[in-house]
Amino acid sequence: MFFSLDVLRARKGDCLMLHFGSEQDPHLILIDGGPSNVYGPFLKPRLQKIHETRELDEQEPLPVDVVMVSHVDDDHIKGILDLTKEQRTKSPDVRLDVTSLWHNSFDDLLKTKPDELVAGFGTASVAETAAQGEAGIDSGSVLASFGKQMLADEAEIEDENMHQTVEVLSSIPQGRTLRDDAKALGWKPNHKFKGKLILAAKAAKPVTLGDLKVTVVGPMQEQLLALQEQHDEWLRAQKEKKKKSPEAALAAFSDESVPNLSSIVVLAELGGKSMLLTGDARGDKILEGMELAGLLEKDGQKHVDLLKVPHHGSDNNMETIFFKRVPADHYVFSGDGEHGNPERATLQMLLDARGADAGYTIHLTYPVAEIDVGRKAEWEEKQAQEKARKKKNPASKKQVREDWSPEKHGLVAFFKNNPKMAAKLSIVDESKPHLINLLTPVKL
């Protein structure tokens, strides 16, 4: 029996494949596809290699149990859209036979009071008139356009929370395209969840795919209801012409709800081993979701064999306590330095929580020095934006960051100063598979 995570280079994003089953009955889940220029050079060749290894006829499709897109964000969804676009042609380079798409589209997340959100909330009324219908607004399109306007002038985005929100909202049209492509290809939407939203809820049963057990940890039902109410309030304001600027429109969604609550988080278990796959969710919300699902005692610990570190190792999403409460044998950081990820501060949190003597492996998708090049460029770009804002508004309390220092800010220096931790590094090689085998190794 094998249970392995296949980690691919995905630039600033995520692209993973979960292999499970046996040589006689192999199964595959594709999790996210990274941004542009990931499908062609990295994902497609891996799918072709798996097709070849399974000794399938040239025209015989490669079976895929699930394509899971953790959330609408270009660095997770674009590679999957490149895949679906090719699958819709008459002769794709590698044909897939996909059973289901697991994905919460933004439109479905923000439908007014869908049944699965109000179930169990007593007086929360399904009968409330849909605010979207009342306002006559396609809110998804409006928010997406505001998101794109903000991305066009990133100097106006003052913090990481807002940047995450803008990235998600600007990707709403991509979610709609994915939904249409999946329908055309016959991929069943959320088939193990009766076609409804994938949610963490108290006493919710895990779903199974053969011998694989999958427990949903996020997003959480109650928090999605709160986001829904926030969305409806925004729609009413739009109807009353109270908020017109992109900044004002997005202010209602800048409290970390959108990026955090849109990420599907699951714990996959097989043969006594486990993987926690986190998307871009925030660490404290993952802990809450694990407690809700009965996987984690309050203030307790839950060991997992593999942890996909949330949001590419952004320190905005993490605290030391997360690494203390969810210790792992393998930590996967996916990122090439763009947007500063993985952050040095997050690696310091891991070191503070676990120490350097414990037995664990840190998997990076790019070499440390290469990541630092991207991180330095991001640092200097943000510094220039902060200087421009300060010049525009000298009274602002927002501080301009100091100059980049390789010793103070770089990952190369961090690992040089922590040689025991450096010895735990395992770097993804673009020329060969990077498989983390928790049971019998996969032959690829």
Q: Give me the CATH number covering residue 218.
A: 3.60.15.10
- Cβ pair 286, 310 in contact under 8 A: yes
CA distance 185 to 25: 24
Residue 230 lies in a domain: yes
| Rg (the chain; Cα; Å) | 22
Q: What is the pTM of this model?
A: 0.88
In a domain, 152, yes or no: yes
Please indicate, yes or no, if residue 106 is contained in any of the structural domains: yes
Read off φ and ψ for residue 82, nearest 5 degrees. Answer: -60, -40
Q: Is residue 442 part of a domain?
A: no
Does residue 443 lie within any of the structural domains? no
Question: Do the domain assignments include residue 444?
Answer: no
Cβ-based neighbours of 140, under 8 Å, separated by 6 or more: 106, 107, 110, 172, 176
The count of other CB atoms within 10 Å of the CB of residue 312 is: 27
How high is the pLDDT of residue 444?
Answer: 80
Domain assignment present for 279: yes
CB atoms within 10 A of CB 177: 14
pLDDT at 116: 55
The number of folded domains in the chain is 1
Q: Can you give the residue range of the structural domain that contains 85?
A: 2-437
Q: For residue 235, what pLDDT is reported?
A: 67
- What token pair was written down for 17? 């494949």
What does each of the 444 residues of the chain score in pLDDT, given as a tens digit? 999 999 999 999 999 999 999 999 999 999 999 999 999 999 999 999 999 999 999 889 999 999 999 887 778 899 999 999 999 999 999 999 999 999 987 777 666 454 555 444 333 333 333 444 444 556 666 666 666 666 666 656 566 666 667 777 777 788 889 999 999 999 999 999 999 889 998 878 899 999 999 999 998 887 777 667 766 776 677 667 665 566 655 555 554 555 555 689 999 999 999 999 999 888 999 999 999 999 999 999 999 999 999 989 999 889 999 999 999 999 999 999 999 999 999 999 999 999 999 999 999 999 999 999 999 999 999 999 899 988 988 888 888 999 999 999 999 999 999 999 999 999 999 999 999 999 999 988
Q: Which two tokens stand for residue 415?
A: 């690992």
- Cβ atoms of 424 and 418 within 8 Å: the answer is no
Res 134: pLDDT: 44
How many degrees, rounded to 5, is the angle at CA 260 between CA 238 and CA 307?
165
